[in-house]
Structure 1
Amino acid sequence: KFNFVIKPNFKTTSFLIDALIGTAIGFFILHPLSMIIQNSGEIPSYAFNHLLFTSMGLYFSGIGLFFGSVSGFFRLKLKQKNIELEKKKLIIEEKNRRFEDSINYAKLIQHAALESELVIKKSLPESFILYKPKDIVSGDFYWFTQLGDKIFIAAIDCTGHGVPGALLTMIANAHLVEIVKVLKIIEPDKILNTLHAYICKTLKQNETKNMDGLDIAICVIDKKNKTMEYSGARIPLVYIQNNELNVLRGDKLSIGGYSNRSNATFTKHVIRIDQPTTFYLFSDGYQDQFGGTKMRKFSPVKLKQLFLGINQLPMNEQQNILEKTIEDWRQSEAQTDDILVIGVKIKL
């Protein structure tokens, strides 16, 4: 048993067409004509056969030249198309390269606006910052400064991620610097109230109905009085004392975003830190990461359990465990959102 496979291509198709046309001409035209002429006896059989084969040769030569010309035409067109596609590919690659260069440069600018972790560790030696942008630039950022005995640290989650989110982080960072360092507003609730007004004004949200904004948790640590003040806009504060986990949820208000709220203000919470205290500020990127065997979100509950389980470990170990846990959780799943987790241990 033999299996024959004919791959359809231009040469095969041309040959089959030639054969079919030749067979048709021979069977329907030349063969009947041959019989008529031979029966008439006017042309010798050998002369007619010579004429027949000569005619067939000329025919197939013509057919061959025709299909050769057509084949050459299409080969030329195909070559031209390939050259055109290659040029377009090079143009697209160049545009992509320039775009990536611009984004990478924007990353340098964004990182320059963030306080160095070395500077943070001078004021908060037992601390870590787990910062994992989803894209090259991030919509999450952390903010830190110190004025006298007061240390300010915040976790901020701006609308979106990537370039749009990163632009908003630069606006928010500049406003925080002005509010705290220039205007000397040092109470966390007043900082958030002022930041909300600034963001609305900068983005002209009362005019454009623009909905961009940010969520934030800010802590003001007063080492002299052994207190910590916290205010939050949709980002909680988790703190652990005597291995007991506590959660302050903050207010259900965002910073910025067009709204009709008029008199709503943020709440200030005061915590005594005269005993060893470990606290965590974090955006929703960690707890919202999809993964696990059932491809579900990590969840706030799991994250709090994780904090409770690691809070007595050195801060660098805590950071490593948090990073490994989320990587193991998501496996091959893409990162869902920007991830930011700040951990601080205070012993006064």
Structure 2
Amino acid sequence: MSLIGNGLLNEIVLQRGIIEPKLILKELHEGIRQLLRQNKKEKLEKLEQVNQDGMDISICLIVKNEEQNNETNTFKIVYAGAKRPMYYTKNGELNLVKGTRKSIGGRQKEEERVFEQEIFEIQKDEVIYLFTDGIADQHNIKLERIGSQNLFSFIDSVKEQNLATQKQKLEQFLDTYQGNQNQRDDITFLMAKIS
């Protein structure tokens, strides 16, 4: 699914020039449903089954606000997520943007899938956090997931430190929580300082 998604994203953004996050998600959703033949309306033969795989993803566009004197410290953030949140710092506080509660691809009951988009401004030196569901879904020896609230609380506790220290502490947090349990899913975690 990651390879299919990556190929479609390259086509959507690089070849077709679509950069608005909610439109990227819409095109990605439709492309995956078409490639995996999930949008078939006719009756299926007994032996033929439709692949109902989907994916969760978040897209963030960062645009520097340009002023007449070309000196600005504010940035416009345009965010859209398919079942993935984004965290960001603003004025010393950690904030959450939830995204849309629908996946890319998979089953679709609604006529058209619409992805919500959030637009807001942040200052230079603030940090954004994007991540796969693999980290929140990782469990410990008691089969308890880290969960979104624990992850948010952890990031909130280290947000004031530099990114290298945050990365090191995140790895320690994950290793300690996971213990000797196998990793359940892919884990990607992106921290970006706006500058």
Quote the offset at 1:275 in angstroms: 4.6
- The SS at the match of 2:129 is strand
User: After TM superposition, which residue ranges in structure 1, 4 or more long, deviate above 3 angstroms?
Assistant: none
TM-score, normalised on structure 2? 0.86
Q: Distance in 2 between matches of 1:178 and 1:215?
A: 19
Give the aligned partner of residue 223 of structure 1: 64
Quote the offset at 1:262 in angstroms: 1.4
Give the aligned partner of residue 129 of structure 2: 280
- The SS at the match of 1:175 is helix
Q: Which amino acid aligns with 2:128?
A: F
1:238 matched to 2:79? The reply is: no
1:179 matched to 2:15? The reply is: no
* Structure 1 contact 209–258 (Cα < 8 Å) conserved: no
1:316 matched to 2:157? The reply is: no
* Structure 1 contact 243–308 (Cα < 8 Å) conserved: no
* Structure 1 contact 241–275 (Cα < 8 Å) conserved: no
Q: Distance in 1 between matches of 2:17 and 2:149?
A: 37
Quote the offset at 1:268 in angstroms: 1.3
Query: Per-residue displacement from partner, 1:80-129 (whole Å, max 9, x unpaired)?
Result: xxxxxxxxxxxxxxxxxxxxxxxxxxxxxxxxxxxxxxxxxxxxxxxxxx
Give the aligned partner of residue 38 of structure 1: none
Q: Which amino acid aligns with 1:209?
A: V
Would you tell me which structure has more helix in proportion to its own residues? 1
* Structure 1 contact 210–258 (Cα < 8 Å) conserved: no
- The SS at the match of 1:320 is helix
Q: Distance in 1 between matches of 2:104 and 2:113?
A: 12
1:260 matched to 2:109? The reply is: yes
* Structure 2 contact 36–50 (Cα < 8 Å) conserved: no
Q: Distance in 1 between matches of 2:87 and 2:64?
A: 19
For residue 194 of structure 1, the aligned residue among 16, 24, 27 is: 27
Q: Gaps spanning 5+ residues in structure 1: where?
A: 1-167
Quote the offset at 1:309 in angstroms: 1.3
Greater relative CO, 1 or 2 (CA 8 Å, sep 6+)? 2
Q: Gaps spanning 5+ residues in structure 2: where?
A: 41-48, 67-74
Give the aligned partner of residue 151 of structure 2: 303
- How many residue pairs get aligned? The number is 179
Distance 1:200 1:271, change over 3 A: same
1:205 matched to 2:53? The reply is: no
Q: Distance in 2 between matches of 1:297 and 1:265?
A: 30
- The SS at the match of 1:246 is strand
Q: Which amino acid aligns with 1:262?
A: E
1:170 matched to 2:18? The reply is: no
- The SS at the match of 2:134 is coil
Give the aligned partner of residue 71 of structure 2: none
Q: Which amino acid aligns with 1:313?
A: Q
Query: Per-residue displacement from partner, 1:240-277 (whole Å, max 9, x unpaired)?
Result: 11221211111111111132221331111112023532
Aligned residue runs from structure 1 range 153-168, under 5 A: 168=1
Point out the structure with max Rg over C-alpha: 1
TM-score, normalised on structure 1? 0.49
Amino-acid identity (%): 34
Q: Distance in 1 between matches of 2:143 and 2:13?
A: 42
Quote the offset at 1:288 in angstroms: 1.6
Give the aligned partner of residue 145 of structure 1: none
Give the aligned partner of residue 329 of structure 1: 177
Q: Which amino acid aligns with 1:216?
A: I
* Structure 2 contact 33–106 (Cα < 8 Å) conserved: yes
Q: Which amino acid aligns with 2:2?
A: T
Quote the offset at 1:178 in angstroms: 0.7
